[in-house]
């Protein structure tokens, strides 16, 4: 198994940041280490695959497309017009909260593309984050369905409470700024 220094040298070799002397030293170490050599070969394949992958931006209307797809999966007969609006508002709020988090995750991903070890860690974190967002959306939709079955007036209540909550949140933030000055 490659030690930490050897893994660092492998990463620098993939980034083409090693001097010829250090690159030769790494190759000599790998000649005597079958496991390390295998690991470096895997890293090289991943690096080549990522460098050859097309770089595309996500479409600007991605969030709208996701929301439309979610709306198609819901049974419109179960939801009244007001409840559909409440569910759409709730999903829009979740997307609004999740979008900056995903943007930061993508930014970190792009900055770490040169380092295979960092890329591996970031890809795992992004997968965990996406699983969390999907779980949140699923829980939100299931909760909304449950509440709507028990309390058909709930969407109107939620719509009327949201502005009050936003007002108190803004007031709280302003107070915190005033105390921090």
pLDDT digits (tens, 9 = 90+) for 130-159: 888 888 878 877 877 777 777 777 777 777
Quick one: which of 111, 124, 122, 117 has its CA closest to 13? 117
Q: What is the pTM of this model?
A: 0.32
Domain range list for the chain: 4-52, 62-180
- Higher-confidence residue of 120 and 41: namely 41
3-state helix, strand, coil in the chain (%, to 5): 80, 0, 20
pLDDT tens-digit map of 100-111: 877 877 777 667
* Assigned token pair, 99: 């979008």
Tell me what the mean pLDDT of segment 21-45 comes to.
88
Residue 10 token pair: 């492998």
- pLDDT tens-digit series, residues 59-92: 666 667 776 776 666 655 555 555 666 777 777 7
Q: What is the largest CA-CA distance in the chain?
A: 74
Alpha carbons 13 and 23: distance in angstroms, whole number = 7
In whole numbers, what is the pLDDT of the chain averaged over residues? 76
**CA-based radius of gyration for the chain:** 25
């Amino acid at each position: 198994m490659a030690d930490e220094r050897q893994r660092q040298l492998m990463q620098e070799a993939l980034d083409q940041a090693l001097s010829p002397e250090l690159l030769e030293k790494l190759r000599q170490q790998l000649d005597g280490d079958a496991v390390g050599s295998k690991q470096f070969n895997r890293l090289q394949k991943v690096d080549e695959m990522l460098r050859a992958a097309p770089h595309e931006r996500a479409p600007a209307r991605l969030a709208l497309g996701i929301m439309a797809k979610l709306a198609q999966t819901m049974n419109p007969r179960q939801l009244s017009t007001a409840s559909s609006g409440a569910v759409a508002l709730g999903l829009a709020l979740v997307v609004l909260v999740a979008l900056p988090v995903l943007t930061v995750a993508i930014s970190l991903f792009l900055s770490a593309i040169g380092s295979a070890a960092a890329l591996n860690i970031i890809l795992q974190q992004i997968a965990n984050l996406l699983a969390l967002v999907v779980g949140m959306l699923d829980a939100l939709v299931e909760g909304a369905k449950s509440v709507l079955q028990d309390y058909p007036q709930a969407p109107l209540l939620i719509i009327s409470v949201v502005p009050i909550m936003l007002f108190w949140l803004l007031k709280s933030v302003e107070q915190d700024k005033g105390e921090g000055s």
